[in-house]
Structure 1
Amino acid sequence: MPDGRGPRRAQEIFTATLELLTELGYDGLTVEGVAARSGVNKTTLYRWWPSKDALLGAALLDARIFELSIPDTGSLRGDLESLLRQVNRLLTGAKTGAIASAALSAALHRPELATVLGAFFGDRLSQELPIFDRARARGELPDGTDPRLLMDLLGGALWMRALIRQEAPKPAFVREIVDVVLRGAAVA
């Protein structure tokens, strides 16, 4: 856990949570199942996470399989293409794609989980901000450009293609959406 607090076997718990989510879907995921899979007492899980949504949220926030490396290629275009290729791999990977799909589907009807996913994406955006700061310093983006809007447009296109349309975005698609978004963000 980021602050160092949590049960000693947090990673095993989070791994079990995400494995069960992938195997059984959100409805099949239970705290009891996570306890059995991770070898941790159910009362320990409830001590740290009062609900299945809280446990799943913690697993998503701390899951190392969703880590991204923030690129520094020397250009905004290169950074965005590199970042989106990583996101594309996460969305289309057998394990990570299944987790993302199950979690997003469940979040539509689970306010607590939706709040956690909002924090997850907020954390990702905070990690990506240096890309936009460097681009502004190089004169590639005008002041006042909203990084959140740009990432929503870029990421949304990938999510739509991969999760809604069930198509694996090809590398050319990453270049195309970066081109379209950067043309729209350019100084008129």
Structure 2
Amino acid sequence: MAPRKEQQIFQATLELLAAKGYQGLTVEGVAERSGVNKTTIYRWWPSKAALLAAALVESDLLATDPPDTGSLRGDLEALVRGIAALLTRPPASDVAVAALGAAVHHAELAETARTFFADRFAREEIVFERARGRGELSAAADPVLIMDLLAGAVWLRAVFRGLPLDDGFAACAVSAVLDGAADQPERAAGMRSRTG
């Protein structure tokens, strides 16, 4: 399938997911919105779960490139800002929240969620490889845990608590993960005052 046509299908899939939720997402609806025959869509993706999995991983709407600021701290701050943008700016935020809700309530999407996050980490892994090469990260450090802590902080604050992510959030979150919180009372106090 031509890449442009594929992106039209993915765009339509994610728009319908955001507008109608997983229950309202249908291959027929995607076909109508994208202008592609539904038999063509079924030829490439046998179910709406398979179509959604492909759209989440391959859509230009959710695409990210790993940052290269020259330092692990700078790269992680850029990644946190990217995750924050994804979760706070429509239409990507609507898609991300709808996809999470669908994965929680529909067992067939559990693998879709795993695939999405595995793909994200595969793209981010270069950040940690470069950091090890520069001597900024020990061999014992767990990059997946680092990203879980940082991304989890963004998800919890932006989606579940509904709190704003101010300009200093990325730096504070990265500092807490890389440096710890016990020896940074001023920074911790600043975060508390911003969260109210």
Q: TM-score, normalised by structure 1?
A: 0.89
Indicate if the aligned counterparts of 1:157 and 1:177 stay in contact, CA closer than 8 A: yes
Write the distance in 2 (CA, Å) between the matches of 1:130 and 1:38. 34
Paired with 1:167 and 1:138, the residues of 2 have a C-alpha distance of 35
Q: Which runs of 5+ in 2 are unaligned?
A: 181-196
Distance 2:122 2:44 in 1: 26
Unmatched segments (≥5 aa) in structure 1: none
Pairs aligned (count): 180
Alpha carbons 1:17, 1:29 under 8 Å: kept: yes
Alignment of 1:78-93 (within 5 A): 78-93=74-89
Q: Are 1:181 and 2:177 matched, yes or no?
A: yes
Structure 2 residue aligned with 1:25: 21
Cα distance in 2 for residues equivalent to 1:45 and 1:8? 14
CA shift for structure 1 position 6: 7.3
Q: Secondary structure at the match of 1:171?
A: coil
Counterpart in the other structure of 1:35: 31
User: Residue 14 of structure 2 contacts residue 55 of structure 2 at CA under 8 Å; is this kept in 1?
Assistant: yes
**Which residue number in structure 2 is paired with residue 164 of structure 1?**
160
Higher mean displacement: 90-99 or 6-15: 6-15
Residue type of the alignment partner of 1:107: A
- Taking structure 2 as the reference length, the TM-score comes to 0.85
Indicate the RMSD between aligned Cα atoms, in angstroms: 1.7
Which stretch shifts more, 31-40 or 147-156? Answer: 31-40
Identity of aligned residues (%): 55
* 2:90 corresponding residue in structure 1: 94
Corresponding residue for residue 60 of structure 2: 64
2:163, 2:95 → 1: CA distance?
17
User: Could you give the per-residue CA deviations for residues 117-162 of structure 1, whole angstroms, max 9, x where no partner exists?
Assistant: 2112111111111211121222221112110010000001001111
Q: Is the 8 A contact 1:6 1:48 kept in 2?
A: no
